[in-house]
Chain A
Amino acid sequence: MDFLKRLRRYPVALAAGLCILAVVLTALFAPVLAPYDPDEMDTATRFAPLGTPGHWLGTDEFGRDILSRIIYGSRVSLLVAFTAVAVALAAGGVLGVLAGFSGGVADVLLMRLMDLLFAIPALMVALGVVGLLGPSAFSVVVALGVAYTPLFARIARSAVVGVRSAAYIEAARAMGASPARLIRCEVLPNILPILLVQVTASLAWGILDEASLGFLGLGVQPPTSSWGAMLTTGRQYMYQAPSIALFAGAAVLVVVFAFNLFGDGLRDLLDPRSSR
C-alpha cells in the first residue's frame, strides 16, 4: 500500500503502470475483447482498408481481422517477455547471489563465465539458441532467458557484495543465522528493489527482442499471431495493407514505452538519489 501511495507522486510512472495493466488485461481477456477469431480466414474480405465497418483496422492477406490479431498478439509478446525475464531473474539471481555471497574461487569462476556470455550481444545469443532449438515460442523464451541471465547475475552479485558487510548482516550472522537464512531474510529483501528496476527494463527489451526475432522469422511460427511476425507479413504487403505493419509496430512501441517509463519512475521512487 505504501508503495502505491508513493507511486502517486510519480504521475507519469503511474500512467505507464496503468497502461501496462490495460495491456495485461487485454491479453488475459483477448477472447472477450477481440471482435473475431484471430485465425479466422475470409478470402472475400482480403486487404480490407482501414476503417472498414466490422474490421476497423482492416484485414490481412488471408482476410483475418488485424485488430483481433493484434489483441491476441499481445498474449505472445507478454507471455514470452514475462517468462524469459522470470527465467533470467531466477537463473541470474541465484548465480549472482551465490557468487557474491560465497566469494573466492566460485565467485571468480561464475562471474568470468557471465562476462563471457555478456560479451556476446544478446541478439546473437538468442540467434544461437533459436538455431539450436528451432524457431518456436519456447525457443524464444529460452533464448532471451539465457541472453539476459548474465546481466541479472552481475547486478545481483554487485548488490550482494554491497550489502554483504553491512552491520545488519553481521548482526544476523552473530545471532547464529545460517547462510541460507541470511540470504533469504537479510540479503534478498535488500537487493530486491535493484532487481525490480532491472526486471522492468528487461521486460521492455524482452518485448522488443521477441518482436525482432519474430520479424526475422525466428519467433513464434504461423498461424499464431505475434507482433513481430505481423511486422514481417506487414512488410510484404506494405502496399495492399499498410495497417498490418503500422499497428503491430505501434503496439510494440506503446508497450515498450510504457515499460520504460514505468521503469524510470520505479528507479526514481526506489532510489530518489538517481532522480535527476
Chain B
Amino acid sequence: MLRYTLYRLLLFVPLLWGLSVVVFVYIHLIPGDPVQAMVGASASQEFVAQLREEFGLNRPLLVQYVDWISGLPAGDLGITFRSRQPIAPLLLARIPATLQLALAGLLIALLVGLPSGILAGLFKNSPFDHLFSILSLAGYSMPLFWLGTLLMVWLGVSWKVLPSQGYVPFTQDPLKNLQYLVLPAVSLGLGLGPYIGRMARAAVIEALQEQYVNYAHAKGLRMRTVVNRYVLRNAMISLLVVFGLNIGFLLSGQIVIEELFNWPGAGRLIVRAVLERDYFMIQASVLIYASIFLAINLLVELLHAYLDPRVQLK
C-alpha cells in the first residue's frame, strides 16, 4: 500500500504542474491584450502600459510563469485586478461557508440517494424500481437553480418556514446559521441525490451478478447476510470511484446554489470575477477548484486501492 501511495503521489506532481501551465496560459489566450480587455477599449494606451508594468505583464512569459509559480507554495495567488487585494485571503475567507454548504449538500444527497438506489437495485424491475428510475431521471434532469427557486418561494416566501436568502456565520449564531443552511443544502442535495441513487442502483445490480453472491446463496446464507456482507460492501467500492469522478458536479452545482441563495462562498466570488473580467481572480479560482478536485480524486483512488487491494496490482 505504501508503494502504491508513493506511486500515485508521484503521478500527482506532474498533473498539478500541468494544471498550473494550463491555468497560467489561460490569461494569455485572451484575444488582444488582457489588460485592455479588463479596463475596456476606451482606456488610453499609456494607462494600459502603466497597468501592464504594475502587474508585471510586460515581462517575458517564462519569467512571469516562474514568478507566479514560485509564489504558489507560500500561498501567494497574486492580487485582484479591481481592488488590488491579495487573492488568497479573499478565497480563504469564503472557504468555511463553501465547505459547510458542500458537506451539508453531500450529506442530504447521500441520505436521499443511497437508500433509494440500493433498494431499487436489490428489487430490480419491481414497481419501486420503476418509480425510482423515473423519479431519479427527472431529478437528474432538473435545473438545480429551478428547484432552489421553487423551494425558496414555497418554504421561504409563501409559508415563511425558513429564511429564504442570506448567511450567518456558525460561530456567531449556530441556530440561525443552520436555519439559513437548510434551503441551499436541500436544493444541492436533491440535485445531487438522484445521481448518487442511480449510481448506487447500478453498483448493487453489478455486485448481485458476481459469482461470490451465487456462492453465498448456495451456501444457504440468509438474504440479509448476503446483502450486507457481500453485495453492499462491494457495491460501495465501485460507488466510491464513480463518486470521486463526479465530485465536479457538486462543485459546479454549488456555484449556482451559492448565487441563488446569496450564500457567501467561493463560488460567488468566481462568478463576480467572470462578470468583472478579473482574470487574475478567475485564474486563481480555477487553479484552486481544480486542485481540490484532483486532490479529492487522489484520496478516492487511494481509498479504493486500500479497500480493494487488487487495484494496486494493475
Chain A residues engaging chain B, CB cutoff 8 angstroms = 112-113, 115-117, 119-124, 127-128, 130-135, 204, 208, 211-212, 215-218, 231, 234-235, 238-239, 242, 245-246, 248-250, 252-253, 256-257, 259-261, 264, 276
Please tell me if B259 contacts chain A, counting CB pairs below 8 Å: yes
Chain B residues engaging chain A, CB cutoff 8 angstroms = 15, 18-19, 22, 26, 29-31, 124, 137-138, 140-146, 149-150, 152-153, 157, 202, 205, 248-249, 251-252, 255-256, 259-260, 270-271, 273-275, 277, 279, 282, 285-286, 289-290, 293-294, 297
Is there an interface contact between B256 and A212, defined as CB atoms closer than 8 Å?
A: yes
In the bound complex, what is the Cα–Cα distance between A256 and B138 (angstroms)? 9
Is there an interface contact between B274 and A119, defined as CB atoms closer than 8 Å?
A: no
Is there an interface contact between B22 and A117, defined as CB atoms closer than 8 Å?
A: yes
Q: Which of A128, A135, A212, A239 contacts B143 (CB 8 A)?
A: A212
In the bound complex, what is the Cα–Cα distance between A31 and B29 (angstroms)? 39
Is there an interface contact between B271 and A216, defined as CB atoms closer than 8 Å?
A: yes
In the bound complex, what is the Cα–Cα distance between A135 and B275 (angstroms)? 8
B245 to chain A, nearest CB (A): 9
Is there an interface contact between A124 and B19, defined as CB atoms closer than 8 Å?
A: no
Is there an interface contact between B277 and A124, defined as CB atoms closer than 8 Å?
A: no
A61 to chain B, nearest CB (A): 16
In the bound complex, what is the Cα–Cα distance between A121 and B293 (angstroms)? 8
Is there an interface contact between B275 and A132, defined as CB atoms closer than 8 Å?
A: no
Q: Which of A120, A127, A256, A257 contacts B271 (CB 8 A)?
A: A127
By secondary structure, the A interface counts as: helix
Q: Which residues of B contact A119 (CB under 8 A)?
A: 15, 19, 290, 293-294, 297
Q: Which residues of A contact B277 (CB under 8 A)?
A: 131, 134
Is there an interface contact between A231 and B143, defined as CB atoms closer than 8 Å?
A: yes
Is there an interface contact between A128 and B141, defined as CB atoms closer than 8 Å?
A: no
In the bound complex, what is the Cα–Cα distance between A276 and B117 (angstroms)? 14
Q: A119-B15, A120-B286, A121-B293 are in contact. Are A260 and B251 (CB under 8 A)?
A: no
Is there an interface contact between A132 and B29, defined as CB atoms closer than 8 Å?
A: yes
Is there an interface contact between B140 and A121, defined as CB atoms closer than 8 Å?
A: no
In the bound complex, what is the Cα–Cα distance between A183 and B293 (angstroms)? 35
Question: Total number of A-B contacts with CB less than 8 angstroms?
Answer: 136
Q: A121-B293, A212-B256 are in contact. Are A115 and B15 (CB under 8 A)?
A: yes
Q: A112-B18, A132-B29, A204-B141 are in contact. Are A124 and B149 (CB under 8 A)?
A: no
Q: Which residues of A contact B144 (CB under 8 A)?
A: 212
In the bound complex, what is the Cα–Cα distance between A197 and B282 (angstroms)? 33
In the bound complex, what is the Cα–Cα distance between A121 and B270 (angstroms)? 13
B7 to chain A, nearest CB (A): 16
Is there an interface contact between B124 and A276, defined as CB atoms closer than 8 Å?
A: yes
Is there an interface contact between B274 and A238, defined as CB atoms closer than 8 Å?
A: no
A sample of 16 cross-chain residue pairs with beta-carbon separation below 8 angstroms, ordered by A number, consists of A116-B15, A120-B22, A120-B286, A124-B285, A127-B286, A211-B145, A212-B143, A216-B259, A216-B271, A218-B275, A231-B146, A235-B149, A238-B157, A245-B146, A252-B143, A264-B137
Interface centre among B15, B143, B202, B297 (most CB of A within 10 A): B143
Q: Which residues of B contact A234 (CB under 8 A)?
A: 149
Q: Which of B19, B149, B289 contacts A249 (CB 8 A)?
A: B149
Is there an interface contact between A124 and B260, defined as CB atoms closer than 8 Å?
A: no
Q: Which 10 A-B pairs have the closest CB atoms?
A: A249-B146, A121-B248, A123-B252, A256-B141, A257-B141, A131-B274, A120-B290, A121-B252, A131-B282, A116-B18
Q: Which residues of A contact B260 (CB under 8 A)?
A: 215, 235
Q: Which residues of B contact A248 (CB under 8 A)?
A: 146
B162 to chain A, nearest CB (A): 15
Q: Which residues of B contact A218 (CB under 8 A)?
A: 271, 274-275
A168 to chain B, nearest CB (A): 29
Q: A257-B138, A261-B137 are in contact. Are A231 and B15 (CB under 8 A)?
A: no
Is there an interface contact between A127 and B15, defined as CB atoms closer than 8 Å?
A: no
In the bound complex, what is the Cα–Cα distance between A257 and B31 (angstroms)? 37
A241 to chain B, nearest CB (A): 12
In the bound complex, what is the Cα–Cα distance between A253 and B142 (angstroms)? 5
Is there an interface contact between B141 and A253, defined as CB atoms closer than 8 Å?
A: yes
Is there an interface contact between B255 and A123, defined as CB atoms closer than 8 Å?
A: yes
Is there an interface contact between A124 and B290, defined as CB atoms closer than 8 Å?
A: yes
In the bound complex, what is the Cα–Cα distance between A116 and B297 (angstroms)? 13
Nearest-neighbor residue (CB-CB) of B145 within chain A? A215
Is there an interface contact between B286 and A124, defined as CB atoms closer than 8 Å?
A: yes
Q: Which residues of B contact A246 (CB under 8 A)?
A: 150
Interface centre among A128, A135, A238 (most CB of B within 10 A): A128
In the bound complex, what is the Cα–Cα distance between A218 and B277 (angstroms)? 11
Is there an interface contact between B153 and A242, defined as CB atoms closer than 8 Å?
A: yes
Q: Which residues of B contact A238 (CB under 8 A)?
A: 149, 152-153, 157
Q: Which residues of B contact A257 (CB under 8 A)?
A: 137-138, 141
Q: Which of A132, A217, A239, A245 contacts B149 (CB 8 A)?
A: A245
Q: A121-B293, A235-B149 are in contact. Are A131 and B279 (CB under 8 A)?
A: yes
Q: Which residues of B contact A113 (CB under 8 A)?
A: 18
Is there an interface contact between B143 and A260, defined as CB atoms closer than 8 Å?
A: no
Is there an interface contact between A208 and B18, defined as CB atoms closer than 8 Å?
A: no
Q: A120-B289, A124-B251 are in contact. Are A231 and B145 (CB under 8 A)?
A: yes
Q: Which residues of A contact B290 (CB under 8 A)?
A: 119-121, 124
In the bound complex, what is the Cα–Cα distance between A216 and B258 (angstroms)? 11
In the bound complex, what is the Cα–Cα distance between A133 and B124 (angstroms)? 48
Q: Which residues of B contact A116 (CB under 8 A)?
A: 15, 18-19, 22
In the bound complex, what is the Cα–Cα distance between A256 and B194 (angstroms)? 14
Q: Which of B137, B146, B279 contacts A260 (CB 8 A)?
A: B137
